[in-house]
Structure 1
């Protein structure tokens, strides 16, 4: 029957592991457990239908009477219900014994119960998705307006040493007062210095014995410290006003660079480079204090050497400019008559001609040696000059190559006038006036060139308008003549 087939399928599809199927002892235990299924409940049951009330042999107790007819009737009804249930099932339906059917027991699907009671509430009420807040106004004002103090008192700490920047030119006596004030603050709070305070005060010290000595010295300074007097407080305020705390490290480095570029006495040029961060009065005051107290600055020898090297270059350029002026003043027409007493040595390689050298010297004197773009201007003059229209070698020289040749020619002039040139005050004043005149002439020349360009543009626009009007008149004349020719034909 179907029930026998069901028992056969259940036994054949025992849900034990493969290892248990291969083990005969496990198979026997599994089969015995199926046969004895429910027997323990029958014996332990205390109901009237159970056998718990049956007296054990030799106990002398009488159990409750059991109605065998009623028990047999229930068994028959149970058998009929099972037969009716499995008569409709075929072999294919009985073989659908899989993992999902294991959740069904006594007609109740426990899988649906798990889905309903455990999983569904989690899906219906998912967790709230929140963005990570980088800034919260409520939390900010909550912390700001929270005036409550912590219940645990904070331990006293030693004040950190005052940071001194040497380029700010603060008096060294001010550092002594700051240190005295720091020791007195530590003494008032009852603080005892540690090794961390030694590192903050004296820096990294590798020797342990020296560290201990510094620590003892620090403790002694704290124990013997005294508050600042009224006179010392006044001196502290005066010395604080003498420093330049508004000058940062970047502005100081720029001041050093510009001082070397224009010279230490060119205050206006230095102020133009430092504007708008610093005014002319601020630069003048700092420059005066800098050169008066340069020894206070850390590594001042390095900065002084940088400025002096740049000033030496400026001095050499001025001497070359003076030598070039004297050389050109010896000739009425230097472009054709100028000759060098110590000309550069000529090798077998292609060199510059005398005309080319004279033209380079003339252009250098025209624009001035102190300009950064002087050799770019010389190159443009060479390309615009009709005398060198067919000199492709000279026209193709780059500013770097022209600078190399110009330096060689200027060195030749230095040999010729080196002994006779003295940069006294009169010479410096004259050279300064020449520089101002040269600058004025260059500005006038630039304005004249711009005006000429505007005039040329105006002439070109007028010419274009005239051509347009003439073209329109010609078109009208042709249009008028066409009908006449058609009528004559």
Structure 2
């Protein structure tokens, strides 16, 4: 009958709509999942699967050169062969080391002696392109040489006296042992430091240590030395 055919049509239509609904829902769910995992053209669901079997290492923080390495290169540059030859010195200069801590006045007198020697041999200061304002520096250094005077007898006597006032019996070997002992025991453990410095009494080491820590900034390699002690 017409009614029965209508009911069948309605049932078929409902069935089709239901199937379409399920299909659309599935498609919607799939599309939603894909959109959730996809971003800027990359499928992060695949990356997630890979991540279960493959650890992606985070980027390493860049290592900065430590203080000791920096000090080493500064020192290496300082002692590299200069473009300008070293200026001459008098043939009989005293052998003094910075770690022997002579009175600062001694070096004023030694410089005066050196400048006068350069004047007597007619030394002309070359221009050093590696320093700031090379022309000005050259002119000022030449002016000091041209105006140099010899040491007076009193200054010569003073110089000889000052040459006895440093730690003249401390050698480079003694100094290195002292530095290594400071690194090992710390600056305050004088007894153990003294045992490491061969041929020196605790009193001698104590006296040297007091001057060292007061004047250590005068040392040419102070950055390197401090890095060694403090590491």
TM-score, normalised to structure 2, is 0.49
Which is higher, the Rg of structure 1 or of structure 2?
Answer: 1
Higher relative contact order (CA 8 A, sep 6+): 2
TM-score, normalised to structure 1, is 0.25
